[in-house]
Amino acid sequence: MSAQSQVVSFQGVWIPLVTPFRDGALDLGAVRRLVRHYAAQGVSGFVVCGSTGEASALEEDEQLLALDAALEAAGAVPVIMGLSGASQPRLLRRLAELRSRPLAGVLSAAPAYVRPGQAGAAAHFRALADAAHVPLVLYDIPYRTGTQLDTATLLELAAHPNIVAIKDCGGSLDKTQALIAHGGLQVLAGEDLQGFGTVALGGTGIIAASAHVRADLFVAMFQALQAQQLQVARRLCHALAPVIRLLYAEPNPAPLKALLARQGWLRDEVRPPMMRAATGLALQLEAAAAELDRLYPPADSSA
Averaged over 41-57, what is the pLDDT?
A: 98
Mean pLDDT of the chain: 95
pLDDT in tens, 72-106: 999 999 999 999 999 999 999 999 999 999 999 99
Q: Binning pLDDT at 50, 70 and 90, where does residue 299 land?
A: confident
Q: Say whether pLDDT at 176 is over 50.
A: yes
Rounded CA separation 303/288 (Å)? 18
Averaged over 24-32, what is the pLDDT?
A: 98
213-248 in b/e form (b: 16+ CB < 10 A) is bbbbbbbbbbbbbeeeeeeebebbbebbebbbebbe
Q: Say whether pLDDT at 7 is over 80.
A: no
Averaged over 194-201, what is the pLDDT?
A: 98
Averaged over 225-246, what is the pLDDT?
A: 98
Q: Say whether pLDDT at 5 is over 50.
A: no
Q: Say whether pLDDT at 160 is over 50.
A: yes
pLDDT in tens, 132-159: 999 999 999 999 999 999 999 999 999 9
Q: How many CA atoms lie within 13 A of 138 on its CB side?
A: 37
Q: How many CA atoms lie within 13 A of 187 on its CB side?
A: 29
According to the annotation, is 207 in a ligand binding site? yes
Averaged over 52-61, what is the pLDDT?
A: 97
Quick check: helix, strand or coil at residue 19? Answer: coil
Q: Say whether pLDDT at 300 is over 80.
A: no
Q: Binning pLDDT at 50, 70 and 90, where does residue 8 land?
A: confident
pLDDT in tens, 266-283: 999 999 999 999 999 999
Q: Rounded to whole angstroms, what are the CA distances from 99 to 25, 32, 93, 94, 207?
A: 26, 22, 10, 9, 24
Rounded CA separation 109/154 (Å)? 12
Q: Say whether pLDDT at 2 is over 90.
A: no
Residue 16's pLDDT is 98
Averaged over 220-242, what is the pLDDT?
A: 98
Averaged over 212-217, what is the pLDDT?
A: 98
Residues annotated as catalytic (active site), given as ranges: 139, 167
Domains within the chain, CATH numbers bracketed: 12-229 (3.20.20.70)
According to the annotation, is 198 in a ligand binding site? no
126 neighbors 160 (Cβ within 8 angstroms)? yes
Averaged over 241-245, what is the pLDDT?
A: 98
